[in-house]
């Protein structure tokens, strides 16, 4: 399951990337948009971590419950992040265009 480990690292890197961009941005709507993108990356990271947990940890009921919690929480977090992303995308484009027009 080397692919899962690579994807986990990639999504965690995306999360850190978007959080860094969030702290460097001065635009309010862009910050909300970047937060939504980082939520998607974090949710996918947690979900894949739960899936990876199923393959490599001992087969006990507790490990299955913990993996299920990670998978459900990660999927929910990604889904809500996606909904926020779709909501803020037009506003972020409008904000970027208005700032370009001011220059």
Q: Which residue has the higher pLDDT, 24 or 56?
A: 24
Q: For residue 40, how many other CB atoms are within 10 A of its CB?
A: 22
Task: Please check the confidence at residue 99 and state whether its pLDDT lies above 90.
Answer: no
Can you give the chain as a three-state secondary structure string?
A: CHHHHHHHHHHHHHHHHHHHHHHHCCCHHHHHHHHHHHHHHHHHHHHHHHHHHHHHCCCCHHHHHHHHHHHHHHHHHHHHHHHHHHHHHHHHHHHHHHHHHHC
Q: What is the pLDDT of residues 74-96, one digit of tens each?
A: 999 999 999 999 999 999 999 98
pLDDT band of 54, cuts 50, 70, 90 = confident
pLDDT band of 55, cuts 50, 70, 90 = confident
C-beta separation of 41 from 96 below 8 A: no
| Residue 23, domain extent | 2-102
For residues 21-48, average pLDDT: 96
pTM score, whole prediction: 0.90
C-beta separation of 34 from 22 below 8 A: yes
Based on the structure, what is the number of domains in the chain? 1
């Amino acid at each position: 399951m080397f692919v899962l480990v690579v994807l986990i690292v990639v999504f965690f890197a995306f999360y850190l990337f978007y959080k860094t961009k969030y702290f460097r941005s001065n635009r309010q709507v862009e910050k909300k948009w970047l937060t939504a993108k980082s939520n998607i990356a974090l949710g996918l990271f947690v979900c894949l971590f739960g899936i990876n947990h199923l393959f490599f940890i001992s087969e006990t009921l507790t490990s299955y419950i913990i993996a299920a919690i990670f998978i459900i929480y990660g999927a929910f977090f990604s889904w809500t992040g996606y909904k926020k992303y779709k909501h803020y995308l037009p506003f972020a484009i409008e904000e970027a265009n208005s700032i370009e027009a001011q220059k």
